[in-house]
Amino acid sequence: MSEQPSVDEEKRTTLRRFAALGTATPLVGLGSRNDTDTGNSETRAAIRGYLATTPGAHFSKIRDDLKLGTGETQHHLRRLVEAGAVETRKDGDYRRYFTAGQFSDFEQVTLGYLRRETARGVLLALIRDPTATGSDIARALDVSRATVSTTAKELDAVGLLSRADGYAVRNPETVLTLLVRFADSFGEDAVAFASEAADFIRFEPQS
């Protein structure tokens, strides 16, 4: 019977995989005498690589997916933010993290809500069918009509949805682009959507 890899081995493998992504685009200002330690350098590179593929991840997700300790995650995120390599924004009960300078405020807000299952489901349903009603969305997501209404109100408040005449996604092209680009990091519903995304893209070449 083969031995299972230790937690430390799994952690090292995970960090190295994401560190390869993080070091692909080296940033000025990350080096310091404290970073001469290979572990520190590799961990920060791994966080950067992780955020390149999972923008808008909150603290606990970064910690758990990279198999880091709480204090360890806090330390390295703080150093990355201080160095200007990572940006952070408050999102309700969450603090979300992004590669610095990569996303506009609207895109950061969008990515944060796409990481919420019900909010993502509402946006997906409306991109699929812009005429969908609250009842239609509730049936599609198997949630209550009240849940859809509450979520829609929240999305309206942050500028992702209009409730002026039914429900309408604001800047749907941006939402669609982010959904497709980072589908693997959201969930199975986003992956399934990305596979059929061509049906929702309308390209009209200029004459």
Domain that holds residue 31: 7-102
Angle between helices 117-128 and 134-141 (to 10 degrees): 120
Q: Work out how many domains the chain is built from and give that number.
A: 2
In a domain, 157, yes or no: yes
95 and 125 inside one domain: no
26 and 97 inside one domain: yes
146 and 71 inside one domain: no
**Residues belonging to the chain:** 207
80 and 12 inside one domain: yes
60 and 130 inside one domain: no
pLDDT in tens, 4-49: 555 577 666 655 655 665 444 444 334 444 444 445 688 999 999 9
17 and 85 inside one domain: yes
In a domain, 86, yes or no: yes
Tell me which of 58, 80, 102 is where a domain ends: 102
Instruction: CATH number of the domain at 80, please.
Output: 1.10.10.10
Q: What is the pLDDT along the chain (207 residues), one digit of tens a residue?
A: 445 555 577 666 655 655 665 444 444 334 444 444 445 688 999 999 999 999 999 999 999 999 999 999 999 999 999 999 999 999 988 999 999 999 999 999 999 999 999 999 999 999 999 999 999 999 999 999 999 999 999 999 999 999 998 999 999 999 999 999 999 999 999 999 998 876 665 544 444
In a domain, 36, yes or no: yes
In a domain, 74, yes or no: yes
In a domain, 55, yes or no: yes
Tell me which of 44, 74, 102 is where a domain ends: 102
In a domain, 80, yes or no: yes
Considering the entire predicted model, what is its pTM? 0.80
77 and 117 inside one domain: no
Phi-psi group of 33: left, alpha or beta (phi > 0 → left; psi -120 to 50 → alpha; rest → beta): alpha
Instruction: Tell me the residue type at 77.
Output: L
Tell me which of 53, 73, 102 is where a domain ends: 102
88 and 125 inside one domain: no
137 and 50 inside one domain: no
In a domain, 151, yes or no: yes
94 and 117 inside one domain: no
Measured CA to CA in angstroms, residue 56 lies from 30, 95, 115, 207 at distances of: 21, 9, 8, 39
